[in-house]
Homo-oligomer: A and B are copies of this chain.
Amino acid sequence: MTESGNDLNGTRGITEAGGGVGTLTRDDFASDQEVRWCPGCGDYAILAAIQGVMPDLGIPPEKTVFVSGIGCSSRFPYYMNTYGVHGIHGRAPAIATGIASARPDLTVWVVTGDGDGLSIGGNHLIHALRRNVNLKILLFNNQIYGLTKGQYSPTSEEGKVTKSTPFGSVDHPFNPISLALGAEASFVARTLDVDRKHLTSVVRRAAAHRGSSFIEIYQNCNIFNDGAFIALTGKEGRSTNRIYLEHGKPIRFGPDASKGVRITPDGRAEIVAVGEAGDANLLVHDEHRDDPSLAFALSRLADGPTGPTPLGIFRAVDRPAYGDGMEHQLRSAADQQGPGDLSRLLNSGDVWTVN
């Protein structure tokens, strides 16, 4: 513990991570608070998956911060035995940016909803992605406002009948993956509440990414929007509609992997029968492509999760993280100018003396 001086790293009062990271268990990450979502809510599965994967990440609870806004999903931090801030509606990325850029030694997670993150909080989200702040952003997309009891959200399909749109909504939804890619996101993925294995693997990759990781998680709200993802979770859809993206592999899906994706000569991604197209003409997925155009084209395969829909990591490229750039400037300023000397600063400029 460094108790003296004004420490550039902001680590005053912080001990190094106690030993035993390797011995962490799921219980170390579960708080004692009663979980209060509706029975059957998809949030439970996500919570279980996250609590399950945390011990594997090698980061102790005290170095982990969960930040959220307001919404059902935003209750998440209360259930994690880490540091946490339950913020205000839409502002989680801003609060988290404050934490992450002040303290590059922490791992900061953001939990947000489709309303919290894409409606009121859209600006903070796209700016966090653009800056590549070192945040792991989990967007629980249930295509509805849960907490306020069922209004449509910016991801609800056109024509959606809700409390606030009794005649059906007249606005076109965002595709969160496209939006994130348009906002320069360096890590963009999509997964599903009920697919724990996939969710866990994507989260693990996100945690390892330095910079902003954006994960859209399709989450069922069984009270106000039940079955929104039935095309991916229902018995049949499960095998026909999930297009798992895997780096370096041709994109194939469906029963017997009989379908695939290829790029048309004019730049669109399209679904084809593997037999017709020929295996060799299928698109080989490349997460690491610097140009996000391919990832973008894949994001347009599905306008909404009602048919074949890509899941997995659309993009994962390296770009300097915001906090690291800031840190670098602090260090090099101190190197070049010497550490700050208050007396010298106050006495700088044109000074004169009166005796």
Residues of A within 8 A of B (CB): 119-123, 126-127, 130-132, 154, 167-168, 170-175, 178-184, 263, 265-269, 283-284, 286, 289, 291-294, 296-297, 300, 319-320, 322, 325-326, 328-329, 332-333
- Please tell me if the beta carbons of B296 and A296 are within 8 angstroms of each other in the complex: yes
Report the separation of the CA atoms of residues A62 and B296 in the bound assembly, to the nearest whole angstrom.
Answer: 42
Q: Are B296 and A268 in contact (CB under 8 A)?
A: no
Q: Which residues of B contact A175 (CB under 8 A)?
A: 182, 184
Inter-chain contact A172/B319, CB cutoff 8 Å:
yes
Known A268-B291, A296-B296, A297-B267; judge A184-B172 contact (CB<8 A).
yes
Q: Is the CB of A131 within 8 A of B183?
A: no
Protomer copies: 2
Q: Could you name 29 residue pairs across A and B whose Cβ atoms are closer than 8 Å?
A: A119-B127, A120-B123, A123-B123, A126-B179, A130-B154, A130-B171, A131-B170, A131-B171, A132-B171, A132-B172, A167-B332, A170-B325, A171-B325, A174-B183, A174-B184, A175-B184, A178-B182, A179-B182, A179-B183, A182-B296, A263-B267, A266-B289, A267-B267, A267-B294, A268-B293, A268-B294, A291-B300, A296-B297, A297-B297
Q: Which of B130, B168, B170, B296 contacts A320 (CB 8 A)?
A: B170
Q: Which residue of B lies closest to A263 (CB)?
A: B267
Contacts of A294 in B (CB 8 A): 266-268
Can you name 9 extra interface pairs (CB under 8 A) apart from A126-B179, A131-B170, A170-B329?
A: A122-B122, A122-B127, A130-B171, A130-B174, A173-B184, A175-B182, A267-B294, A268-B294, A269-B293
Query: In whole angstroms, how far apart are the Cα atoms of A261 and B297 in the complex?
Result: 18
